[in-house]
Structures are given as structure tokens and as C-alpha cells.
Chains A and B, each alone.
Chain A
Amino acid sequence: MKAFTEITARVVPLDRANVDTDAIIPKQFLKSIRRAGFGPYLFDEWRYLDRGEPEMDCSQRPLNPDFVLNHPRYKGAQILLARENFGCGSSREHAPWALDDYGFRAIIAPSFADIFFNNCFKNGLLPIVLDASIVDNLFRSAVPGVDLTINLAQQTVTTPDGNQIPFQIDPSRKHRLLHGLDDIGLTLQCADAIRAYEQRRRREVPWLFPGSETAH
């Protein structure tokens, strides 16, 4: 997984509450069996004026000039500023894949939906929860186009005028993200504990282990 340490980048304000994962990446693109290539279809129904289909060449499609991602001053943005309950709905990891593929590295919102929040960390994407009043202020200042600095080690978001805003993150998630660690590799270091658990449960609740053969 990609590590996250520090970025200084343009922030794009997406002023809508309850942005769902169907909006982030519509279902027709979920037919892909690959993990990459979703960036051009990010927010497809809001970003383009026509109906998107898989494998379309998006460089030829009519852009919606009213959609914030299409405003020239937010070009190259790597930080998404959003409202409450961002990423609600379907568990599709294609949503963080699309955000990552587009170039986003971090999302700031007053709250996130649980599954989406969790999926972000698997993809080197940092979701940051800040108080609604702070997010409100960031929305006001972001409109003309500003850069923010996010430092994961220090757990701070720094505005252009030098205001440092602290944020919270679980120590284990921070550690994994800072070092770009592979979750599965880490879990397999506990293989003995998993096997011991299985042995005990096989005795206690044998109906959960029909067949009982394991590969390990």
C-alpha cells in the first residue's frame, strides 16, 4: 500500500451532505475486474453532461461546467473537502479506488460512513474528521482556491495563513498508513493465535466447523 506522510495540495470544496458511493462511482463501472482505471469516471453523473458507460473515452465527453471538480481553479486538487456522512451507501471499494486514481490523497469532512472510512485506509487515502464549524470555515476559505498542508506524523492540517488544525487518528491506522504496510502480512504474523483460536472454537462450537480441514 502507498504510504502517506505529508502533502501540500489544492483543496476542492464539494458542498453536499450525504454523498453516497453510487455518486462517487456509478454501478456500471463496477463491472470491471481490475483495480485501476476508475479515475475518469469519478462522480460521473455530476461531472459529465452525458451518460457514462464503461470503457468510454472521457476526454471526448461534454463536461458539466457547474460541477466543482471541473472549475479550473481546482485543477490538480488532491484534497477533497466534503460535508456530513461522506461515502454512505454501498461498500464498493471502487469509490476510494476512483478517488485515488483521480489523484486525491485526503478527504476532510465532519463525518464519514463507516465502511467507506475503513476502505480509505486500505488504499493510502487519508480521511480526516474535523468539527463541523471548522469544516464550515474551510469551505469559506477554499472557494477562491487554496492549498492546505496535511502532516500525518504531526496529525495537523495547516491553512495558508499558518493556522494549524489538529486531527485524531487511531495509532495503529496511523502507523500502517505512515509506513504503507500490508494489512494481510501483518495479520499473518498472528497465524499461531488464529490457529489456537480455531482449535478452541472447534471444541466449543463444533457446528461452526463442519468438515474441519484447514490449509494451515
Chain B
Amino acid sequence: MTGKTLYDKIWDDHVVHTEEDGSTLIYIDRHLIHEVTSPQAFEGLRLSGRRPWRTEANLAVADHNVPTTERECGISDPISRLQIETLDANCEEFGITEFRMSDRRQGIVHVVGAEQGASLPGMTIVCGDSHTSTHGAFGALAFGIGTSEVEHVLATQCLVQRKARNMRVVADGVLHHGLTAKDLILAIIGRIGTAGGTGCTIEFAGSTIRSLSMEGRMTVCNMAIEAGARAGLIAVDAATIDYLKERPFVPKGALWERAVAAWERLCSDETSLFDKTITLAASDIRPQVTWGTSPEMVLPIDASIPDPSRMLDPVQRASAQRALDYMGLRAGTPLEDVSVDKVFIGSCTNGRIEDLRAAAEMVRGRKRAANVKQALVVPGSGLVKEQAEREGLDRVFREAGFEWRDPGCSMCLAMNADKLEPGERCASTSNRNFEGRQGYGGRTHLVSPAMAAAAGVYGHFVDVTDL
């Protein structure tokens, strides 16, 4: 008999109603809210006279627009300020728990949700943000939605969905010293492309995945969307349970014991079938650097910028040429010869404590290179910031000439004051290298925290496994 995949199990547990054509009403256990994609949804509720179906399923935090300096002075941009005040007012009106900008628990919604234990195994978790896939690291079905669906979840605690296909990415073996979950997921995206997981939920499996910490697993699932998959998943194991124990939103006492027993079945059955399986060997992976304007345009650090004229597919050739023109790069240039103007360490991909530790290790006792104008370190949450300061990481960064900031999305998408100027090149631990993503005309290279920190110290990309 064919067994069920992890995705099948969570899906089946959440079906409320199925139409003949397969369109299914599924129940949503957790709804995370931020200021950018929610105001129109709350307005919709008000206009139709509806109330949230289950208030306590919601958790809100402002992250995209928040300043990362001089917070006590408030937000100087009046449009950003209005958006955050609107979130505060909406949460107050509808009784939704919110960590406000002044709260020590405030931070990037996907960092906060996980560290609070608000993302539990077996849950369905949604947020008006594509990087909701992050929470799949806990064996939860977590995916990003649009604002109409934010309103739909608020009003009904459900969403109308069609089941995706099952895809599995199996990574086996040991990553070389100095390599991280970020290199692994970038290598996966390089292999399958930014549309490789479209229409699928990707389960990440194999010994390499199992050996990752929960933070590393979050980095992998976070970028499932960059491979086209709305959701990425990893089976529950002892690391999942250890991470969750005693976090604020996690069940306690006898309920905890009961929950753990139920969570232990959250893995794919050995007899389950996947529509698509990709395998890769961890030992083949080198530190990854993106060279273009799509996350699939990625190469190992010892490679050179590719030559579009050698590409056979005309659409791919045109995309690569446009990317090189935008990035100001010449075919054949070794990646290690590419110098950077700025460094950004943070985001929902790489803004957790292990990321900051890896970056700090690289800059300890060193100085920011003369050609690097600015190196920003932005913790993923207030609690990550406190932890880093207890470990003295803030001093390590400051002494090296890196700026230590307050938590938020910051230069990952540059909605606040942290941004690239036209033509500036950035080594970034974020998730998207799209044109203009980090600022109008800005040029983004996606890398791991250690690789970004090393670029800040050497002034150009270097192979951290050589250091």
C-alpha cells in the first residue's frame, strides 16, 4: 500500500470541505501578520462588517518599514509611519496580539514566530509574505498568501486551495567546513531553477538536512519560494522537539507530552511516492555566490562570470545578458575578483543567532576593507539582538567597523532607510537579487553570513573555506 508524504498528512488533517474539481477549503491554525500586506485586509473586514473568526490564531508584528537606528525618535518617513500606526490601530480594534516596535520581542515576523514557538509541527501557517515557507522547518505546512487571502483567513480561518504536487529534494553527506544551509539552498536553486518547484511542496530530506540545526533548516525552507515552491517542509525529529521545548507559545505539561507524541508521526511514510525527486551530494557543494538578477543565477566561488553568448536557449541568453548589463559585470571575470561596496547581514533568511555568530567569527580581530563603504548587521529580532550582545558579538562587529542595528527587514527589501544607491554592489545574506530589490539600481550578490562578512573584510568575494 502506498503511504502518505508529510505534506499529504498535514493537508489531510486540515481539509474542511472539498469541491468536485479538487478545490478544497483548508483550515488555518496560525496567521502571522505584518504592516505591509494587512491594511487593505482589515479595511475589507470593516467594510463588510466582519470580525476575525478566531482572534487568538493571529499574531502581528511590524517589520518591513521599521527603522534600524534611533528608534526612540520614531519613524521619520510619514508614509511608513502611517502604515505601522495603521497596524497598531487594527490590532487594537480587533483584539489581535501584536509585538509593537517598542517591544523587546519585535523583529522579522518569520524570526519572531519561530522563536516564540508560535509555529508548531503539523500546523497550517500562513502570512501575507512569501517567506512564510520558513516555518516549514518545523514540519508545518507554511506558505505565503496575498492580501485578499489575508482578509479571507481573518474572516473565516480558512483558505480555498488546490493541493500541490509532492516534490522531494534529498541532500546526503557532510558539508565542507565553513559551508552552511545558505550554500546548500543556493546550490539547490541553481540546480532546479527558480521555477523548479512551481506547483509543488518541497520536502527537504537526507542526512545533510537532518544534520542541520533548526536555524539552518529555517534558512533552507525560507528559500523554497526562490525555487518556485510556496512551501518547503522538513520532517520532525529530536532537534525540532528540543528547539521548541519551553518557548512561550508552546503547550506545557501533560499537553506538551501529548503533542510530542503526535508530532513524532510527522514524517513521510517509507512507502510514500513523490511526483519528483532530486538528489544531491553535500560534498560537491562549494561556497555559493549569485552573479545575476535571479537566485538561480548562482555559481561556486571558484567559478567565473558566465558567458551569455555560449548559452543555447535564446530566452536564457537574453536574461543572462540583461543581468550582466544590470550587474555591471563582464563574462569571464573570476567571482573572487568582484569587489563590493556594501555588506548586509540579516533578513528572515540569515538574521538568527547562529548566522550572527558565523559572521562575527569571520570579522573578529579584522577590519572592514577600505573600499567597503558600509557593512550593516541587522539582527532578526530583539531577542536575537539581546542574545548576541550577551555573547559580545556587537562589540566584535563594531570594532571591525560594522554597524550594529535594531531588528527588522532592513536592506533585504529596502522599504526603510537602509538601501543601496544606484550602481552599488552588495554582498547580502538576504534571499532575492532582483533588479532594484535592495535599492534603485543596486546590485545584489546573495551569499552566506560568513561569505558576506569575509567580503566586508577583504573588499571582494573570497572563499571562506580557504581562510
Contacts and interface: CB of A to CB of B under 8 A. Distances in A.
B259 to A, nearest CB: 5
B331 interface: no
Interface of B: 16-17, 19-23, 25, 27, 29, 36-37, 39-40, 43, 48, 50-56, 64-65, 77, 79-80, 82-83, 86, 120, 122-123, 128-130, 132, 143-149, 151-152, 155-158, 160, 162, 164, 194-195, 198-199, 225, 228-230, 251, 255-256, 258-259, 262, 294, 315-316, 318-319, 322, 413-415, 422, 432, 434-437, 440-441
A113 B195 contact: yes
A114 B198 contact: yes
Interface in A77-98: 83-85, 88-94, 96
B194 A23 contact: no
Contacts, number: 202
Given A28-B415, A114-B228, A115-B130, A187 B146 contact: no
Contact of B434 (A20, A83, A111): A20
Interface stretch (A5-13, A157-165, A205-213): A205-213
Contact of A206 (B43, B53, B65, B255): B255
B65 A31 contact: yes
Interface string A36-56: 000000000100000100110
A129 B246 CA distance: 48
Given A93-B148, A208-B29, A193 B17 contact: yes
B196 to A, nearest CB: 10
A108 to B, nearest CB: 15
Given A45-B440, A85-B195, A91-B146, A22 B432 contact: yes
28 contacts: A16-B322, A22-B413, A22-B437, A26-B436, A31-B79, A31-B82, A33-B40, A35-B40, A83-B315, A88-B228, A89-B432, A90-B432, A91-B37, A91-B128, A114-B230, A115-B230, A123-B148, A170-B22, A172-B160, A184-B155, A187-B156, A190-B25, A190-B158, A191-B156, A194-B27, A198-B27, A210-B56, A216-B53
A15 B316 CA distance: 11
B149 A122 contact: yes
